[in-house]
Amino acid sequence: MDFAPGVHFGLSDEDYFSVPALSASGVKNIRMSPLDFWARARWLNPGYDEDNEDTEESFARILGRAYHKRILEGRDAFERSYAPAFDPAAHKGALDGTDEIKAALRMAKEAGVDVKITGNKPELISRLLELQPTARIMDVLRESYEKNFEDHILLAAKYLDKIELSAAMIEKDPQLSKAFSGGMPEVSIFWVCPTIGIPCKARLDYLKPKAIVDLKTFANKSGYPIMRAIDRELGYNRYPIAAAWYYDAADQVSGLIDSGKVYGDAPHSYLSALHAGNEKTFVYVFQQKGVAPIARGKSFPRSLTNCLLAQAQCEAAKQTYRTCSETFGTDPWITSEPITAFDDATIPALWE
């Protein structure tokens, strides 16, 4: 998509990521190096391929999207997009495999039916169904099942169960259950930075008239107490950058609504409340991965020193984005640094 300032509802992930603009994740990438940003920007790097990763990481992304869909949009919306994968164990006795189908044809031949027992699997299945239209064949059952859910993403029941349990931990919590109500999920905001003049974008998990809610999961592999694990997760993943960036994005909403730059479906009453509630609180909802999906909410006030530091880093990233855009355009953003000497004060002692 081309960049166009506005508040978008219902924008797909693919469209959002294709918009040429700096985002919170882009700030993190550009802090590593301008080339790290360029390599992960779909509109800059012609060789970018999200799925060019190992299968485990790709599948983790699929599960993550399903989890967000269920938590942010609710069960009804989730079930319109996801369904249980076909389960062969639920169809015991169905013929499965070429040998079993051939065996059924052989029995018919021994009973006096003139039938061929050679051929590929589809031919064998077709031949058997001509003789026994009610025969239960695993491939046929699977094909019929998947056709019924051709507009859905199919996930194994064990993953759906985990997602449902995670959702229950939030929906049954008297405080957290309010986090994902009264607002809209996956709100995309595009604006031009008024000081540096670069295109910016943000995709908010859940936007309420007076709050921005961001859903995060964490593994807690070191076994810290939950609240301590959340604090560490916030720091290690540089989440203050996202909070500072989303505050900036939320500041643009009222002006964009005033300009009529609202796209997609959103209730008029919601837009009016969103416009009136200019000052918003940023809230993180953290949920632990694994067998104990405990969830906790923590606000991230704009007055925190960490938020102010993150805001400064966002501004520095904007300037780097502008400089590299003007210098390199769509070519790789390859910058150089002078050769320097190591400093004992900056080398961690872990090498020992």
pLDDT confidence of residue 301: 97
Residue 314 and residue 243 share a domain:
yes
Instruction: Tell me if 81 is assigned to some domain.
Output: no
pTM of structure: 0.88
The per-residue pLDDT for range 152-162, each reduced to its tens digit, is 999 999 999 99
Q: Which two tokens stand for residue 245?
A: 């960036």
pLDDT confidence of residue 87: 96
The per-residue pLDDT for range 231-289, each reduced to its tens digit, is 999 999 999 999 999 999 999 999 999 999 999 999 999 999 999 987 899 999 999 99
Return phi, psi of residue 83, to 5°.
-150, 160
- The domain boundary, picked from 97, 118, 153, lies at 153
Q: Is the C-alpha dihedral spanning 269, 273, 274, 280 positive or negative?
A: negative
∠ at Cα 71 (294, 262), nearest 5°?
140
The parent domain of residue 143 ranges over: 86-153
Instruction: Tell me if 64 is assigned to some domain.
Output: no
pLDDT > 70: what percent of the chain? 98
Residue 310 and residue 223 share a domain:
yes
Average confidence score pLDDT of the chain? 94
pLDDT confidence of residue 58: 80
Question: Does the pLDDT of residue 51 top 70, yes or no?
Answer: no
Residue 165 and residue 146 share a domain:
no
